[in-house]
Chain A
Amino acid sequence: MYELEATADLLLMSPQGKTAAATAPEPRETSVEAVLVRTVLEGNREGFGQLYDLFAPLVHGILLARVPRAEVDDLVQDIFLHAFKKLNTLRDWNAFGPWIAMIARNRAMDFHRRSRETVEVTEDLRSSDTSINKATEILELIRGLPAAYHETLVLRLVEGMTGPEIAAQTGLTPASVRVNLHRGMKLLREKLSFKENA
C-alpha cells in the first residue's frame, strides 16, 4: 500500500506536494536549482558544478540502495554527464532533483539488467575493511526491504539527509517520506534483532 503511495508520488513529481498539473508550462525560477538550470542553459558550465554539489549525495544514495558500492561513484559521474547533455529536455526547472533521481533509478535498473552476476562477485572481493564490512552487511539488510523503504532509509542513514530534505529533493511528499522512514526503520530493527539473536 505504501509502495503504491510512493510510486504515485514519484509519477506526480511534485516537490512540495503540489500536483504536476499545477506547474506552469513556462519554467519559473522559484528555487536555487531553477536558477542554476537557467544559467547552465545559457552556457555557464560552472552552474552545473553547483548542481552537482547539491544533488550528488541524492544520486549517490539512490544508487547505493540499488547497485554495488564499487560501481556507485562511476555511475554518479555518468548520470550527471547524461543530465548535462539532456538538460534542455527538463521542462520544470524546479524539478531538477526528481528528474535526476529518476535518471538514477533508471540507470540502476539498466545496470542490473546488463551485468548483475559479475558485479556481485567484485563487491565481495573489494570489501576488506571491517567497518565497511559491517556497513555493507547492514546495507544489504536495507536493500532487502521493500523498494519504497530502502531508498529513503539509505538517504537518511547513509547520506545523513533529513526527512524534509529527502522530500524536497526526490519529489516525494513529506508524509510519504515520513511513513517510509518510520515503517522502514521498524522493519530494519526487526531484521537486525533477528540477526543478533541468530
Chain B
Amino acid sequence: MNDDYLWDKSGEPDPEIQQLEQILGTLRYQPRPLELPDDLIVQRRRNYFPLMAIAATFVIALLAAGLWWRTTSQKKPALHEVKVDQPASAPTIDKQVDNKTLATDNHGPSPVPSVHRHKHQSPNVLASNTRRRSNSTPTLSPAQEKEAEDAKAQLLMALRLASEKLNLVQRKTQGGTAPPNQIRNQHKIG
C-alpha cells in the first residue's frame, strides 16, 4: 500500500484508492453560492472592560456603604439592655425578689421582666435600675390623723371586750375553780 499517495497524492497512485476516489467523488461538494440575507450583519466585537469597571466600582461602593452603616448602627444602645427599677424603701422581701430579677436579667434577657416601665423611658429600654427617691410614708392631714386615732381606740376597745368575754367563757367551762387572774384584771382597767 502506497502511503504517500494516500497522504498527499504524491508517488505512485494506488489503484484501489483511485477507484474509491472516483466512486465517492460523485458525492463531492458542488459549489453553491452562499445566500446571506441583506439584513444580516456581523456583530462587532464589544469591549466590555469599561462596563465591567463601572459595575465593579458600583459594587465596591455598595459594599463600603453597607459596611459603614453596619458599623455605625452597632454603636447605638442595644435593644436588650435591662434596667431594674428598685424602690429605696421597698420591703426586704421585695428587695430580694428585685435582686434575683436583676441577677437573672444580667445573665440574659428575661421574657417577662418583673419590673415596671417608667413613662419617661424610651421605648428601647424595657426597665431601669434607678433607685426611687420619693418617701414611701404617706402624709396625712390633721383630720385624717384624728380619725385614725379614733379608729385605733375603737379597735382596742373591741379587742378588750372580746378578750373579756373569752375569759368569762373559760371560767364557766372550768367550773370557777381557777383563781382570777389579777394581772389580767389590772390590764382590763382603762
- B93 on the interface (CB 8 Å rule)? no
Who on chain A is nearest to B9 by CB? A162
Known contacts A57-B29, A69-B27, A81-B40; is A138 also within 8 Å of B20 by CB? yes
Cβ < 8 Å to B, chain A residues 89-144 = 129, 131-132, 134-136, 138-139
- Residue among B20, B33, B46 facing the most chain A CB atoms (10 A cut-off): B20
Residue A64 lies at the interface, judged by CB distance under 8 Å to chain B? yes
A34 on the interface (CB 8 Å rule)? no
Say yes or no: B34 contacts A52, CB within 8 Å: yes
In the complex, which residue of chain B has the Cβ closest to the Cβ of A164? B8
Q: Is the CB of A84 within 8 A of B28?
A: no
Assess whether B6 is in contact with A182, with CB atoms less than 8 Å apart.
Answer: yes
Q: Among B26, B27, B40, which residue has the most Cβ atoms of chain A within 10 A? A: B27
Contacts of B36 in A (CB 8 A): 45, 48-49, 81, 84
Q: Contacts A77-B35, A88-B42, A162-B9: A135 and B26 contacting too (C-beta < 8 A)?
A: yes
Task: List B residues 7-40 near A (Cβ within 8 Å).
Answer: 7-9, 16-17, 20-21, 23-29, 31-37, 40
B3 CB within 8 Å of chain A: yes
CB distance from A48 to the nearest CB of B (A): 7
Convert A147-172 into 0s and 1s, putting 1 for each residue whose CB lies closer than 8 angstroms to a CB of B.
Answer: 00000001011111011100000000
Report whether B29 and A157 are in contact in the complex, using a CB–CB cutoff of 8 Å: no
Contact with B along A69-93 (1 / 0, CB 8 A): 1000100110011001111100000
Do B42 and A84 touch across chains, with their CB atoms under 8 A apart? yes
Q: Which residues of B contact A (CB under 8 A)?
A: 1, 3, 6-9, 16-17, 20-21, 23-29, 31-37, 40, 42-46
Q: Assuming A77-B32, A189-B16, what are 4 further A-B pairs, CB within 8 angstroms?
A: A45-B36, A69-B27, A73-B32, A185-B1
> Which residues from chain A sit less than 8 Å from chain B, CB to CB?
40-41, 43, 45, 48-49, 52-53, 56-57, 60-61, 64, 69, 73, 76-77, 80-81, 84-88, 129, 131-132, 134-136, 138-139, 154, 156-160, 162-164, 178, 181-182, 185-186, 188-189
